[in-house]
Amino acid sequence: MPKPYTFLLMAGLAAFPAVAASGDPADRLARYDDGVIAIMKGKLPLAARIARFETLVNGYYDMGSIAALVVGPAWATTSVADRQAATAALAHHSAVTLARNFDRYGGERFTVDPAVQARGTFQVVKLTIQGRSSSNTLLYQMKRGTDGQWRIVDVVADGVSQLSVQRSDMAATVASGGASGLAKRLAQVDAKAR
């Protein structure tokens, strides 16, 4: 069963008023889930899973916004090159984590709740992953990207935000090395994970 913390997460989700489900954010998340399942069923070696997950992450996550939130206020004075490096490093790190935790398909069912919840410009979509012996519920916080597509900004499992966890884990690295330090640190972590 995949671990729920392998997704990018964000705290602060409370009860939100339901909006009429146009299907857009929920359908988009369902397409993402289909991609995850396809990779799990592919029985690919780790390097190939990482490559496929990186394509999926870049297609469905708003990695630029995520990188800005992980780096924090220093993002405003970060060079374009360092912003791009941090964004790419976070996307790759997410792919490595997903590839290691979603390594095979064991009959899991991914069910997206069509009752999307609104929170300002964000939409919150609930996903249940049902395995043979356990079930996990994840809340995906999504927003429209510059391309008009709904993109994942964060996912919350058991009230825990991976985005908040990443910010906390990388705070010292960002404080001492900024966005470029973050990119270098994630590359080191990912090299050890292979």
Q: What's residue 132's pLDDT? A: 83
Chain Cα centroid distance, residue 67: 11
Distance between terminal CA atoms of the chain? Answer: 20
pLDDT at residue 185 in the model: 96
Domain ranges of the chain: 4-180
Structure tokens belonging to residue 101:
């935790």
Structure tokens at 133: 């012996």
Q: Return per-residue pLDDT of the chain as tens, 194 residues.
A: 444 333 333 333 333 333 333 348 999 999 999 999 999 999 999 999 999 999 999 999 999 999 999 999 999 999 999 999 999 999 999 999 999 988 889 999 999 999 999 998 899 999 999 988 889 999 999 999 988 999 999 999 999 998 999 999 999 999 999 999 999 999 999 998 77
Its CATH architecture, for the domain 4-180, is Roll (3.10)
What does the pLDDT read at residue 80?
A: 97
